[in-house]
């Protein structure tokens, strides 16, 4: 038996799955789905008295290609995911538009099928701690989309705008998804993993941010406006069943972050603000370069404990083995 699962200090695990691996073919028949990995991980959690959280990612490697034979528009996009790498256009990918109804219908069918599968066993369902909204992804399970428009590269904002993406449509996608999750996973917390400036700057009239930073037509939403609106909508509609997380907790470098969240080195200020407003919040540690050894893990945990109101911290397995 894996000693990690038996450790009493480990409360639970984050099960991260790809849509493309779970649903091999269109349709809702059992033969279209492969739940082998999900079942294995849920069984391990139940067997060892742990809880689990669950996320189903689309994005660069999670979007199933069969979608584009079933009425979903294929968007050719390219992004590195890092705003600072202006010289590199990034990875090419084919994604769907989450504001497109055909895309939403397919993703929501997936969520319904997964909910029915988990609820088929009471012990699986009891062990589910959080279900994480998704479907609008880039490389990770965080909620974000390709949004760069650099000279000489694919202008992602233009591609989205010309294919019907709007902020209102994005809000509708998350409102419909959280309503579905609340219905299909009763009394389970929805845990939204944010990137504060993660969505393409496109307006409801089809204007988009160009490579020089100006608009092709009309005022654009602020860089963090779309994420903030999603957080506001979630809180207003679902209260404490809508939790907020950031997957970039670093080592402790500041104090008094609960007083001034803008202090350099503090945990993500959007999460801190949600905590101040009474929402459930949490963190995942940043990548191995930022939290690279056991002392870093301890410092990051202290950062969450002293500088936030977070109720949990997730950290990577390699760091766990080192700390153990």
- pLDDT in the model for residue 1: 36
Mention every residue, 6+ apart, whose C-beta is less than 8 A from residue 149. Answer: 155, 156, 157, 158, 208, 209, 210, 211
Buried b (16+ CB within 10 A) or exposed e, 255-289: eebeeebeeeebbbebbbebbeeebbbbbbbbeee
pLDDT-based confidence at residue 322 (cuts at 50, 70, 90): low
Average pLDDT over residues 269-286: 96
86-97 pLDDT per residue, tens = 558 999 999 999
Axis crossing angle, helix 225-238 with helix 269-276, rounded to the nearest 10: 30
Mean pLDDT of the chain: 93
pLDDT tens for each residue of 200-225 = 999 999 999 999 999 999 999 999 99
Minimum mean pLDDT among 72-86, 148-162, 228-242: which range?
72-86
């Amino acid at each position: 038996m894996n000693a990690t699962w038996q450790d009493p200090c480990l409360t639970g695990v984050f099960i991260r799955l790809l849509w493309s691996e779970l649903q091999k073919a269109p349709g809702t028949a059992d033969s279209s789905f492969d739940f082998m990995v999900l079942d294995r991980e849920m069984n391990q959690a139940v067997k060892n008295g742990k809880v689990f959280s669950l996320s189903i990612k689309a994005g660069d490697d999670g979007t199933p290609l069969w979608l584009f034979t079933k009425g979903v528009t294929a968007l050719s996009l390219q992004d590195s995911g890092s705003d600072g790498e202006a010289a590199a256009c990034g990875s090419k990918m084919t994604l769907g538009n989450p504001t497109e109804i055909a895309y939403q219908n397919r993703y929501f069918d997936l969520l319904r099928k997964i909910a029915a599968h988990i609820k088929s066993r009471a012990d699986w369902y009891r062990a589910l701690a959080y279900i994480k909204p998704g479907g609008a992804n880039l490389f990770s399970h965080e909620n974000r989309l390709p949004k760069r428009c650099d000279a000489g590269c694919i202008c992602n904002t233009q591609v989205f705008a010309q294919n019907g993406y709007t902020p209102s449509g994005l809000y509708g996608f998350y409102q419909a998804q959280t309503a579905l999750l609340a219905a299909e996973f009763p009394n389970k917390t929805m845990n939204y993993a944010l990137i504060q400036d993660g969505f393409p700057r496109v307006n409801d009239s089809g204007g988009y941010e160009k490579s020089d930073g100006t608009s092709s037509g009309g005022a654009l939403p602020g860089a963090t406006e779309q994420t903030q609106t999603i957080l506001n909508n979630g809180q207003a509609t679902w209260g404490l069943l809508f939790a907020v997380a950031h997957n970039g907790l670093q080592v402790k470098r500041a104090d008094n972050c609960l007083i001034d969240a803008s202090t350099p080195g503090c945990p993500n200020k959007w999460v801190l603000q949600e905590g101040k407003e009474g929402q459930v919040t949490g963190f995942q540690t940043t990548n191995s370069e930022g939290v690279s050894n056991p002392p870093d893990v301890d410092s990051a945990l202290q950062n969450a404990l002293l500088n936030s109101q977070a109720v949990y911290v997730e950290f990577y397995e390699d760091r766990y083995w080192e700390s153990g």
